Amino acid sequence: MTSNTIPFLIAGPILRKATANQLVFWFVTREPLQGTFQLYKHGDDTAFYSGDLGECQSIRVGEHAVVTLAKFDSEFPTNTALNYEFNTQFGEVSQLIPDLLYDDEDRLSIVISDKADYILHGSCRNPHDPCLDALVAADNKVQTLAINDRPDLLMMSGDQIYADHVAGPMLDAIDQVIDLLGLPKEHFVDSPVSDCSELRAHPDFMYGRDKILPHYVDDGSLLTTFFPHRHAPIFTSKDCENHLITFSEFFAMYLLVWSPSLWSRVNQTRLLDQGFVSNGTQLEPKWQQKWREEREHLDKFVAGLVHTQRLLAHIPTYMIFDDHDVTDDWNLTIGWEKAAYENPFSKRIIGNALIAYWICQGWGNEPNNFNQEFLELANNYFTENCCESQDAFIQHLYSFERWHYTIHTSPKVVVLDTRTRRWRSESRMNKPSGLMDWEALIEFHQELMHQDKVIIVSAAPIFGVKFIEALQRIMTNLGHPLVVDAENWMAHPGSANTLLSIFTHTKTPTNFVILSGDVHYSFAYDIKLRFRKCSPNIFQITCSGLKNNFPEPLLGFCDHADRLLYSPRSILNFFTKRKRMKIQKRDPDMPGSRRLVNSSAIGELKLDAQGKPHRISILTASGQEIEFPPIQKRHQ
């Protein structure tokens, strides 16, 4: 396929940051951007601000793929309707992609809000999950709102891609995109395959990558006593048959989940008739059947991408990673870290995921977190495309400690890195690490000091479902934390007690709102300190997933068991680390007695002037709004 058949605008524009003094947009284009960015007062025909696209930071990722972070610094008007346009060498973006515009719009529209009173939030967007995509429902709702009534921001709190659970048709599309855009080739050390070409020719290239992925000698379990030198997989996801490996695969997947542009350029039918993958290997009948099922779900996802692209162009969108952006059980225990980072192949795979995360997600959250040394290492890798420069960049990413960031709105939004700065257990190699170490928690505490209200974004709920956490603790004590994904704040005594002490500190906010995802169900809690008259107001709000569900009837069982065993007056609460906290669970306004809502959805949060929730609700992917009303209203 020649370059002129590749769309000029491959992905974006995604509005990544919008403040009174900085606007940041993210693009992927076929060739370097040229032209101007123009900003208008709503309804005006004369731009009051213009920026040169040629001066923006850009990185050529592939022969026909250039990533641009268009950052504009000035004094911008806040809380007022604005329009913007990119005048490129191939014309205006709104003309190149008319579907970016809402009804009756001539240019794209935004509001630079200095508030965070209306937030959309969600996580866990699996393209081939059978449920619908909640980002489509969010876009449909935004279309009905007046510009000044739109959400202040969209917070995507993890698992923006599922690198460890990739559908066969998605992997095939990824493979085609790599060739289409001329994305980087790659060599491996101490791996079953020497380079990406050998990987693509391997008979286990599709639906067999669990055989290619690295293993280690498990010397920490009871089984090793009877079966020494037992080789165990490092990547433990039960669905890792198509686990992404190369940087190019990770990068291509981001393009395919955020934009419809490339889907019309890949051959989506080439495996349907004969069951052959691109390297000539024929799929087994069971994988052919799985392919057909995945393809049906993926087709519906692709049809909704025009809405995803439009939503992300109009609402400031912030992101943070969770495990599936890299791999399941990422840094869960020190034993896992030791196995993963001492193996050159797994270290490279994780590093590739981090490179892709930075260039597609992290860079746009807070561009000033990445200094000249960081950018030089990135440019060296993409320019030289050799093992040495790639490994040097990956090593720097492993030591990097500025993935977290703060959005300086009112209330302040503090986004936590709960993956790379772990509080490692010193007692057992397979005991879950704390989600943040002492230094990270102290930095977090400083962000909260002397604030009257704050929003905290934690990928995993800080106050989760106690019954589920009890099950995770039992499996951890049996030596199997990876089996149940024992990922919660209370799993590590040091981080749990330090975090709870932060909430009880007298100089921290009066109103805490915690936004989380990860768990594939939605709930809302009101939390107070026991035995204290002047308790801060703490609200734990979880919405998950954007396109994922929890297994039923298991969730129903856990919901009812939690209500039975851990009611606010239950004596079992005093045997948990949260015994200082009184947790009241909000009931959703839906039929039945469930408090855990199992539906793909996006969260909607509206706050009052004091930073307390005025409305907590979810918008399901089917368009239904479910509210979690205040507890006192329930008894009126």
Surface-to-core class of residue 481, CB atoms within 10 Å of its CB (0-12 exposed, 13-18 middle, 19+ buried): buried
* Residue labelled with tokens 């032209």: 35
At 191, give phi and psi (nearest 5°): -130, 155
The more confident residue out of 198 and 505 is: 198
Residue 268's pLDDT is 67
Per-residue pLDDT band for 418 (boundaries 50, 70, 90) equals very high
The more confident residue out of 255 and 428 is: 255
Per-residue pLDDT band for 272 (boundaries 50, 70, 90) equals low
Per-residue pLDDT band for 277 (boundaries 50, 70, 90) equals low
Residue 178's pLDDT is 97
Residue 366's pLDDT is 97
Residue 312's pLDDT is 98
Residue 76's pLDDT is 98
At 405, give phi and psi (nearest 5°): -165, 170
Query: For residue 174, is pLDDT > 50?
Result: yes
Rounded to whole angstroms, the Cα distance separating 267 from 244 reads: 20
> How would you classify residue 24: left for phi > 0, otherwise alpha for psi between -120 and 50, otherwise beta?
beta
* Residue labelled with tokens 């995109």: 177
Q: Which of 583, 545, 442, 542 is nearest to 499 (CA)?
A: 442
Q: 401, 421 in Cβ contact below 8 A?
A: yes
Query: For residue 35, is pLDDT > 90?
Result: yes
The string of DSSP codes covering 288-324 is HHHHHHHHHHHHHHHHTHHHHHHHHHHS-EEE---GG
Rounded to whole angstroms, the Cα distance separating 523 from 159 reads: 19
Per-residue pLDDT band for 480 (boundaries 50, 70, 90) equals low
Query: For residue 482, is pLDDT > 70?
Result: no
Q: Tell me: the pLDDT tens digits for 47-96? A: 999 999 999 999 999 999 999 999 999 999 999 999 999 999 999 999 99
Rounded to whole angstroms, the Cα distance separating 243 from 36 reads: 40
Q: 461, 540 in Cβ contact below 8 A?
A: yes
Residue 225's pLDDT is 41
Q: Which structure tokens are listed for 302? A: 């692709």
Helix (H) / strand (E) containing 248? helix 247-258
Give the CB-side neighbour count of residue 458, counting CA atoms within 13 A.
Answer: 23
Q: Tell me: the pLDDT tens digits for 324-360? A: 999 998 998 899 999 999 999 999 999 999 999 999 9
Dihedral of CA atoms 586, 587, 589, 594 in degrees, nearest 10, equals 140
Query: For residue 1, is pLDDT > 60?
Result: no
Q: Tell me: the pLDDT tens digits for 85-130? A: 999 999 999 999 999 999 989 999 999 999 999 999 999 999 999 9
Residue 223's pLDDT is 40
Give the CB-side neighbour count of residue 511, counting CA atoms within 13 A.
Answer: 16
Query: For residue 171, is pLDDT > 60?
Result: yes
Query: For residue 230, is pLDDT > 80?
Result: no
Rounded to whole angstroms, the Cα distance separating 610 from 212 reads: 54
Per-residue pLDDT band for 275 (boundaries 50, 70, 90) equals low
The more confident residue out of 406 and 5 is: 406
Per-residue pLDDT band for 282 (boundaries 50, 70, 90) equals confident
Question: Counting every residue, how long is the chain?
Answer: 636
Q: 204, 283 in Cβ contact below 8 A?
A: no
265 to each of 149, 159, 183, 269, how far by Cα in Å?
37, 26, 16, 12
**Residues ≥6 apart with Cβ < 8 Å to 55:** none
The string of DSSP codes covering 153-213 is EEEE-S-SS-TTS--HHHHHHHHHHHHHHTPPP-B-SSSSSSBHHHHHHSTTTTT-GGGTS
Per-residue pLDDT band for 228 (boundaries 50, 70, 90) equals very low
Per-residue pLDDT band for 574 (boundaries 50, 70, 90) equals confident
Query: For residue 30, is pLDDT > 80?
Result: yes
Q: Tell me: the pLDDT tens digits for 515-571? A: 999 999 999 999 998 877 788 999 999 999 999 999 999 999 999 998 888 887 788
The more confident residue out of 612 and 280 is: 612
What is this structure's pTM? 0.94
Query: For residue 316, is pLDDT > 60?
Result: yes
Rounded to whole angstroms, the Cα distance separating 215 from 629 reads: 49
At 7, give phi and psi (nearest 5°): -60, 145
Helix (H) / strand (E) containing 504? helix 493-504
What value does the mean pLDDT take over residues 257-276? Answer: 78
Share of the chain above pLDDT 90, in %: 76
Dihedral of CA atoms 432, 324, 618, 435 in degrees, nearest 10, equals 30
Residue type, 262: L
What value does the mean pLDDT take over residues 302-312? Answer: 98
Residue 484's pLDDT is 47
Residue 274's pLDDT is 56
Residue 507's pLDDT is 84
Mean pLDDT taken over the chain: 91
335 to each of 324, 350, 491, how far by Cα in Å?
19, 16, 16
Number of other CB atoms surrounding residue 627 within 10 Å: 17
What value does the mean pLDDT take over residues 135-150? Answer: 97
Rounded to whole angstroms, the Cα distance separating 159 from 156 reads: 8
Residue 485's pLDDT is 57
The more confident residue out of 562 and 139 is: 139
Query: For residue 229, is pLDDT > 50?
Result: no
Rounded to whole angstroms, the Cα distance separating 115 from 119 reads: 10
Q: 326, 353 in Cβ contact below 8 A?
A: yes
What value does the mean pLDDT take over residues 203-229? Answer: 72
Per-residue pLDDT band for 636 (boundaries 50, 70, 90) equals very low
Residue 407's pLDDT is 98
Beta-strand relationship, 35-41 and 81-88: antiparallel
Q: Where are the alpha helices (DSSP H) in 333-477?
A: 334-341, 344-357, 363-365, 372-384, 387-399, 438-448, 466-477
Give SS3 for 228: coil
What value does the mean pLDDT take over residues 562-590? Answer: 84
List own/partner pairs for 558-561 with CB under 8 A and 24 or more apart: 558/465, 558/467, 558/468, 558/471, 558/596, 559/465, 559/594, 559/595, 559/596, 560/593, 561/467
Query: For residue 222, is pLDDT > 90?
Result: no
Helix (H) / strand (E) containing 498? helix 493-504
